[in-house]
Amino acid sequence: MKKSLGVFFSLLMVVAFATDSLAGALDIFTGEKGEVRIAGGTAHIPVMKEAAIRIMRHNPDIHISVGGGGSGAGIKQVGEGLIDIGNSGRKANEDEISRYGLQMFKWAIDGVAIVVNPVNKVRSLSQEQVAAIYAGTITNWQEVGGEDRKINIYTRDEASGTRAVFWKKALAKGNVAKNANFVVSNGAMKAAVSQDSYAIGYVSIGHMNDSLAGVAFNSIEPTLANVQSGKYPIARGLYSNTKGEPIGLVKKVIDYLFTAEGQEIVVQKGFISVK
């Protein structure tokens, strides 16, 4: 009986310690007031929204808005002072950094998966096949082991960080067919491919679910484990950018993403921690 009680009290102490640790991460927001405007890369949205909810629940005097628009828009808008934090799925380039005085903070690692509709039986493509499909040279699924059906290509616009890493690492900076369908976000890509039996597209691995089927790239499956090990090559960092060094409430929001609780959110939303 004494041994059972000892185990019980030990468990209580562990739970209490864990609770205090989580509460401690949010304590930096106690007594704060103000607004933080966040926009840009759409892969970041699930993490940013969850972080914002926790912060605002802890302190209702803080308001945090989270929007999309793509990586290019996030960098431009934060550089022009329209928002406080601009998210990007790529590093800002030297021109952007010097023009806007940007500071970059990488708080997660993400892979970009090639995806098809689950009814499509094609589950593996080489880099040459992917590049040929997106260039419009391969136009029928039968050419890569699928049904005798036209391939419907889905892509993102040039402001997208997801597109940037896909174009560079999957397409080797090759052409994209003029008849490709453009979508505005990872969420829109997921919806489009899940509703089109003969689609091909690409999304952040953190956005994948049963409505999509991942396609192996050069025989390497698009999994978090393969991204983390470096085997899966279509990968990138997720960044938050500020104009100059962040201060005040903006700095605290970014700092929160690097706490144990913030990195726990990163993992829960399907990304890889930088810790």
- With the C-alpha atoms ordered 239, 240, 242, 248, is the resulting torsion angle positive or negative? negative
Residue 48: Cβ within 10 Å count: 27
Give start-end residues of each CATH 3.40.190.10 domain in the chain: 2-109+237-273, 111-235
- Residues 152 and 154: their CA atoms lie apart, in Å, by 7
Q: What is the pLDDT of residues 71-84, one digit of tens each?
A: 999 999 999 999 99
Q: Which residues contact 104 (CB under 8 A, 6 or more apart)?
A: 91, 92, 97, 239, 240, 241
Query: For the domain 2-109+237-273, what is the CATH code?
Result: 3.40.190.10
* Cα radius of gyration rounded to whole Å, the chain: 21
Which pTM does this prediction carry? 0.81
User: Residues of the chain with pLDDT > 90: what percent?
Assistant: 89
The pLDDT of residue 155 is above 90: yes
The pLDDT of residue 124 is above 60: yes
Amino acid at site 39:
A
User: CA-CA-CA-CA torsion for 91, 252, 109, 90, nearest 10 degrees?
Assistant: -20
- Residues 16 and 184: their CA atoms lie apart, in Å, by 44
Helix/strand/coil (H, E, C) string of 184-238?
CCHHHHHHHHHCCCCEEEEEEHHHCCCCCEEEEECCECCCHHHHHHCCCCCEEEE
**CATH architecture, domain defined by 111-235:** 3-Layer(aba) Sandwich (3.40)
Indicate the average pLDDT of the chain.
92
Average pLDDT over residues 252-266: 98
3-state secondary structure of 118: coil
Contact 256, 28 (CB under 8 A): yes
pLDDT bucket at 206, cuts 50 / 70 / 90: confident
The pLDDT of residue 14 is above 50: no
